[in-house]
Amino acid sequence: MAIDIDLIGNPPAAPKHVRKPDWLRVSLPMGDDYERVKAKVNTLQLNTVCKEAACPNIAECWGAGTATIMILGDTCTRGCRFCNVKTGNPKGIVDWMEPVRVADAVRDLGWKYLVLTAVDRDDLPDGGALIFANTIRAIHERVPGSKVEILSGDYRGDLNALDIVMDAKPDVFAHNLETVRRLTPGVRDKRATYDQSLRILEHAKNRAPERYTKTSLMLGLGETEDEVEAAMEHARGVGVDIFTMGQYLQPTKKHLPVVEFVTPEKFERLGAVARGKGFHQVVSSPLSRSSYHAEQAFLP
């Protein structure tokens, strides 16, 4: 399908005839393990990106007994045009006991691999870095041998804040480019730039070379294959180890429309291109998300 390129970075309008294809159909959440995770999350007053961002994999992941915990509240200070998480001003409110509750959930549910993410907290001097660090340490203390992957914001480019997080020794540091360079201004909040994200990823790798770094792209916003390959090269150029790609899905009519439903065959082709760049792990499929099958990075 031909796509008109907007040179100022705005995604093109979606073709009116595009409908969600069969390969994007998912099962309804159900089952004992799903209900167990749901109950624990509710009991401990935890937020998950699974629910807040309307992830299509919630049935599979919660049904397998795993979830991605979102800390620092449910209100983000950014207003990215693709994201379903609530936007507003948290007014500096921080729950300092949250790290303990998260660690207790990991212990009680028997998780050995947790993906931990957070809303952006531009209202805090450190962007929430200390809470991130405290949560990582609490999990490692309560669940010896566990691994923690964090999906982090950019801390407004504050590398000192990033160092606070990295010194807590997350096993994987993830920060998403989200889209290609050209489309970034029209997709992400104006405070989240493409080059700033690359600097964050590079600094995280330099701070802890022995630990994995990771980034992710949403496809279907009007990007070209050449632009996707360029993003792979940019990511690999700053030392990123893990690269994932998934289909962008419009959460509500207020969000950016889908320009293209990328076929599984195209995802496989782009995945092969990424593997050729030398990444440690590549995950590329329509329903892939940044945290999808994250634990597989540590398989032999």
Whether the Cβ atoms of residue 287 and residue 64 lie closer than 8 Å to each other: no
Whole-number pLDDT of residue 2: 33
Whole-number pLDDT of residue 13: 52
Whole-number pLDDT of residue 81: 95
From first to last of its 300 residues, the chain has per-residue pLDDT tens of 333 334 445 555 555 545 778 777 655 555 666 666 666 666 656 665 555 445 555 555 544 445 678 899 889 999 999 998 899 999 999 999 999 989 988 888 888 888 899 999 999 999 999 999 999 999 999 999 889 999 999 999 999 999 999 999 999 999 999 999 999 999 999 999 999 999 999 999 999 999 999 999 999 999 999 999 999 999 999 999 999 999 999 988 999 999 999 999 999 999 999 999 999 999 999 988 766 555 555 655
> What count of Cα atoms within 13 Å lies in the side-chain half-sphere of residue 34?
13
Whole-number pLDDT of residue 21: 82
What are the extents of the domains in the chain?
A: 24-298
What is 178-237 written as a DSSP string? BS-TTTHHHHS-TT--HHHHHHHHHHHHHH-TTSEEEEEEEE-SS--HHHHHHHHHHHHH
Determine the 3-state secondary structure of 299 from DSSP: coil
Query: Which two three-digit tokens encode residue 57?
Result: 């994999």
Whether the Cβ atoms of residue 70 and residue 48 lie closer than 8 Å to each other: yes
Helix (H), strand (E) at residue 134: helix 129-142
Whether the Cβ atoms of residue 259 and residue 11 lie closer than 8 Å to each other: yes
Whole-number pLDDT of residue 114: 85
Helix (H), strand (E) at residue 109: helix 98-109
pTM recorded for the entire structure = 0.84
Tell me which fold the domain 24-298 belongs to: TIM Barrel (3.20.20)
| CB-neighbour burial class of residue 137 (10 A; exposed 0-12, middle 13-18, buried 19+) | middle
Whole-number pLDDT of residue 65: 46
Query: Which two three-digit tokens encode residue 24?
Result: 């994007």
> What count of Cα atoms within 13 Å lies in the side-chain half-sphere of residue 66?
19
How far apart, in whole angstroms, are the C-alpha atoms of residue 157 and residue 172?
A: 19
CA distances to 177, 190, 270 from 184, rounded to whole Å, are 8, 9, 20
Whole-number pLDDT of residue 6: 40
How far apart, in whole angstroms, are the C-alpha atoms of residue 218 and residue 99?
A: 30
* Residue 160, phi-psi category: left (phi > 0), alpha (psi -120 to 50), beta (remainder): alpha
Whether the Cβ atoms of residue 84 and residue 122 lie closer than 8 Å to each other: no
Strands laid side by side in the 147-151 sheet = 47-48, 68-71, 113-118, 147-151, 172-174, 212-219, 242-247, 281-284
Whole-number pLDDT of residue 8: 40
How are beta strands 86-87 and 47-48 bridged, if at all?
unpaired
